Structure 1
Amino acid sequence: MIGILSAFGAATSWTYACFIWRSQTQKYKSIDINLIKNIIAFLIFLPAFINLSSTTELKNIFILLISGIIGIGLGDTFYLKSLQTIGTRKTLSIETLSPLMAALSGEFFINENLTTKSWFGIIIVTISLFIILREGNDFKEENSSFSEKNKFKIFAFPFLSVLCAVLGGLLSRMVFLQSNLSPFLTTEIRLLGAIIFLISLKGFKINFFLKNIDKNQQKRFFISILLGTNIGIFLQQVVFKTLPIGIGWALLSISPVISLFFAKTEEREITKKIIFFTCFLFFGLTLIIL
Structure 2
Amino acid sequence: MFIGHQAALAAAMAWTAASALWRSLSQFGTAIELNGLKNGLALLFFLPFLFTLPWTDQTRAIVVLLLSGVIGIAAGDSFYLGGLRRLGTQRALTVEAIGPVLASMGGVLMMGDTVRPAAWAGAFLVSCAVVLVAQQSKASSATNGTAFGLLLCVLAVMCGLSGAFLSRHVLITSSLSPMQTAAIRLLGGWLGLLPLLRGRLRPKHLPKGVMAKVVLATLLGTNLGIVLQQVVFQMLPVGQGITLMSTAPVMALFLHRLEGESLQWQGIVAGLLAVSGVALSSL
Q: Deviations over 1:4-46 (max 9, x none)?
A: 5443322221111121111221121111111111111111111
Offset, 1:271 = 3.8
What is the match of residue 192 of structure 1? 187
Q: Deviations over 1:175-233 (max 9, x none)?
A: 22323432211110000000111012333x12434894243x22222111100111113
Does 252-261 or 129-138 show the bigger shift? 129-138
**Aligned counterpart for 2:224 among listed residues 231, 238, 245:** 231
RMSD, matched Cα: 3.1
Report the TM-score when normalising by structure 2. Answer: 0.84
* Structure 1 residues 279 and 201: CA distance shift in structure 2, 3 A: closer
Distance 1:244 1:167 in 2: 20
Offset, 1:86 = 2.3
Superposed, which structure 2 residues align to 1:12-31 within 5 Å?
12-31=13-32
**Aligned counterpart for 1:174 among listed residues 165, 169, 172:** 169
SS in 2 for 1:26: helix
Percent of matched pairs sharing the same residue: 34
Q: Deviations over 1:101-157 (max 9, x none)?
A: 12222444456655444454454344345435534433543xx7x4xxx55433221
Distance 1:109 1:196 in 2: 30
Distance 1:196 1:76 in 2: 14
* Structure 1 residues 273 and 30: CA distance shift in structure 2, 3 A: closer
Distance 1:248 1:176 in 2: 17
Distance 1:243 1:171 in 2: 21
Distance 1:174 1:80 in 2: 27
Superposed, which structure 2 residues align to 1:89-104 within 5 Å?
89-104=90-105
What is the match of residue 252 of structure 2? 259
Q: What code does the residue aligned with 1:200 have?
A: P
Kept in 2, the 8 Å contact 1:183–1:238? The answer is: no
* Structure 1 residues 262 and 52: CA distance shift in structure 2, 3 A: same
Q: What code does the residue aligned with 1:176 have?
A: L
Q: How many residues align?
A: 282
Q: Deviations over 1:162-181 (max 9, x none)?
A: 11111111212222232343
Q: Deviations over 1:40-93 (max 9, x none)?
A: 111111122354236853222112111111111001111111122222222222
Distance 1:210 1:160 in 2: 27
Q: What code does the residue aligned with 2:193 have?
A: L
- Gapped runs of 5+ residues in structure 2? none
Kept in 2, the 8 Å contact 1:172–1:237? The answer is: no
Kept in 1, the 8 Å contact 2:250–2:272? The answer is: no
Q: Would you say 1:208 and 2:216 are equivalent positions?
A: no
